[in-house]
Structure 1
């Protein structure tokens, strides 16, 4: 038995979907424990590109049980679109997908409020995906949210929506100069969603607990990345949930003694979508080259990602707050063709060298990267299946990452396809 967590170490988009897809072959159950459809996992399976925003990417494998935990916020329309697509393509079977009834539901007013708040923020905008994630989490904390089980009772749902719209409509009309929302159309729509999702509702915490007791392999699939965590990220330019590994216990109802391995996922360079400080960002031609080579556009929004060199200061911080025990490095192939590659090993702040990641963005904004140079490589590496297949310069680069972080690399991705991967250790096989 092994229970493994996969978590992003950067600002999301690290390639977690591919690593989860690969590890799902060896796990019995796959659990999504936080976030919403503001994250997109892109997997290439059987020559077809599949983008999933809510359902764990392990659903693409046969005989796997996939769970959406209570820590996820669900847009039911998006979830139903995903279940329909997967069913039409033969991926969803009976007793394969389970959803916690305690998961909170993204309502139309969440998406509307997300948009109008962003529009009114002007230069201070966070760069939200406008999918209602933040307002939904805010309602959850304020104890006025709607859970999945509320969609199964029309009277209860109507009462809760009516109560919530009193405040929401006041803000929409008087502050944002928008038209008010009506109760009945929302209730009609969401009751129908409840009926469609009812077959998937289950006590997720209990199901996972019993599977683990039976010796099943469990894989926990994180969304976004460490530096977008609501507490440990570059606040306020963060997401609205805890993206770090310790949140799996709260977001899925699994006990804290149940985890054996925490795999941190990092690109071989760094990217970020939206606003916020980014010490190693490349603003000129170099950044554009990385963006084009890596096809760096968001799976969810399509927005171009900001690109830069690898940041060891930020990764060391991610190791600490997640308790990372192993590394998976993705998109190493994107660096092929670069004559020189840099790694940021420290920051300069007000004339001083610092090696700890500042959580105060006012300090982080002033930090300048201190780089070490590494020789680049021109070889095409997509056919590499062993470290010995890589050019010396690529191996030196990977070894430097291991030394800087004092954490072993167990997986290296050398292309977007499932098979374009070097596996040094499989946590489910112990070798």
Structure 2
């Protein structure tokens, strides 16, 4: 049996939440390993919708869940989410949830800086959620972050706050906004620490113990490979590594612990925020995809940009992420279209290429080269076996497999947990 890492293979919003929830029935524990509360997973279970941002999807099933050191954590957002999910009947307690004691915190000053930058000029817009994730990662790598464990070390907290504010108050002066009062910031942290610290644990040690007990571990990623800070459409990316290699570093386990890597990809493509999107549509088909697919962000409610499936970008994402199989979601959204298109290559200044270039200028310049495939009139919504799919829908899936050079392991046909076709069990691979 293998541990499994689930990662997005596009620009996020691929439906990872449902897939992780479905797989968590086979797992013993679920680990979130990167990102912050800028990512959102929506689960629909027995007609109840759960919107998660920081909590691993396994909590809905009552599976032991871990927030790893690779995640940046807004403690106020975490407590709010725990309370909100609790009102839906899911009891989140320290027996179910563990928070890495070496995870870095997102503070109000990070949110302020994020929003100030986004609102400074249109030219500088990245399209972030404005929730402070980028600035928090900046402080982490600059070695001035306040971490979860620091909430229990009050003797050192004053020095850490002073070091942090030396940097941030200089930035705020330059931006023409009021400086942060260290005394007030400390008071805010002290007010929340007793709600956060009961969840704090050395997650790496807990996971090592579970691995030695041969427990099945499910690693849950956020966003998607095209938003990876190294391999995505830089600078229009998130501030963490979203590919599967981060599952090891972001949880405190070695690479050998990861096992099978499952990439999630929609049967078409979406993205939010600014940045290149070669297959983006601006016609009636875009409206159909948006409306049928309910393409609005879980966290922000922003309307997602929609386009045809981009086999070039997905194939590249699967290679950089070491993906062994994909879960294709939202096939049913394409039902009834007379034809569907797939991007099989790019045209860059008159040259046909089969990769997304690293250059921001070239990424913006590539034009999609399409292959047209016959559509299907039959409904695929809710299908739970290949026999329930039309011949043309199956042909579409098989052609995608050929183009991305990776087999489909799962096929999701609705938001409901059980509307899933299992082709290859990742845990048995």
Q: Normalised by the size of structure 1, how large is the TM-score? A: 0.97
Query: Structure 1: which 4+ aligned runs deviate by more than 4 Å?
Result: none
1:36-47 equivalence runs, <5 A: 36-47=36-47
Unaligned 5+ residue runs, structure 2?
A: none
1:6-405 equivalence runs, <5 A: 6-62=6-62, 64-88=63-87, 89-173=89-173, 175-405=174-404
Matched-pair contact (CA < 8 Å) for 2:151–2:197: no
RMSD: 1.3
In the alignment, the residues of structure 1 paired with residue 77 and residue 28 of structure 2 have an alpha-carbon distance, to the nearest angstrom, of 25
In the alignment, the residues of structure 2 paired with residue 263 and residue 71 of structure 1 have an alpha-carbon distance, to the nearest angstrom, of 19
Name which of structure 1's ranges 236-245 and 158-167 shifts more when overlaid on structure 2. 158-167
Instruction: State how many pairs are aligned.
Output: 428
Q: CA deviation at 1:121?
A: 3.3
Matched-pair contact (CA < 8 Å) for 1:152–1:191: no
How far does the alpha carbon of each residue in 1:87-107 deviate from its partner, in whole angstroms, 9 at most, with x for none?
442332442111111100001
In the alignment, the residues of structure 2 paired with residue 157 and residue 307 of structure 1 have an alpha-carbon distance, to the nearest angstrom, of 46
How far does the alpha carbon of each residue in 1:96-140 deviate from its partner, in whole angstroms, 9 at most, with x for none?
111111100001111111111111132231011110000000001
In the alignment, the residues of structure 2 paired with residue 320 and residue 196 of structure 1 have an alpha-carbon distance, to the nearest angstrom, of 41
Q: CA deviation at 1:428?
A: 2.4
Q: CA deviation at 1:190?
A: 1.1
In the alignment, the residues of structure 2 paired with residue 164 and residue 410 of structure 1 have an alpha-carbon distance, to the nearest angstrom, of 46
Q: CA deviation at 1:182?
A: 1.4
Matched-pair contact (CA < 8 Å) for 2:24–2:30: yes
In the alignment, the residues of structure 1 paired with residue 377 and residue 191 of structure 2 have an alpha-carbon distance, to the nearest angstrom, of 55
In the alignment, the residues of structure 2 paired with residue 91 and residue 108 of structure 1 have an alpha-carbon distance, to the nearest angstrom, of 27
Matched-pair contact (CA < 8 Å) for 1:151–1:193: no
What SS does the aligned partner of 1:130 have? coil
Matched-pair contact (CA < 8 Å) for 2:15–2:329: yes
Matched-pair contact (CA < 8 Å) for 1:153–1:191: no
Residue aligning to 2:421: 422
Residue aligning to 1:407: 406
In the alignment, the residues of structure 2 paired with residue 289 and residue 361 of structure 1 have an alpha-carbon distance, to the nearest angstrom, of 30
In the alignment, the residues of structure 2 paired with residue 273 and residue 310 of structure 1 have an alpha-carbon distance, to the nearest angstrom, of 16
Q: CA deviation at 1:185?
A: 2.1
Q: CA deviation at 1:335?
A: 0.5
What SS does the aligned partner of 1:35 have? coil
Q: CA deviation at 1:217?
A: 0.5
Matched-pair contact (CA < 8 Å) for 2:18–2:43: yes
What SS does the aligned partner of 1:237 have? coil
How far does the alpha carbon of each residue in 1:361-390 deviate from its partner, in whole angstroms, 9 at most, with x for none?
211111111111111112222231101110
Unaligned 5+ residue runs, structure 1?
A: none
Q: CA deviation at 1:171?
A: 2.4
What SS does the aligned partner of 1:316 have? helix
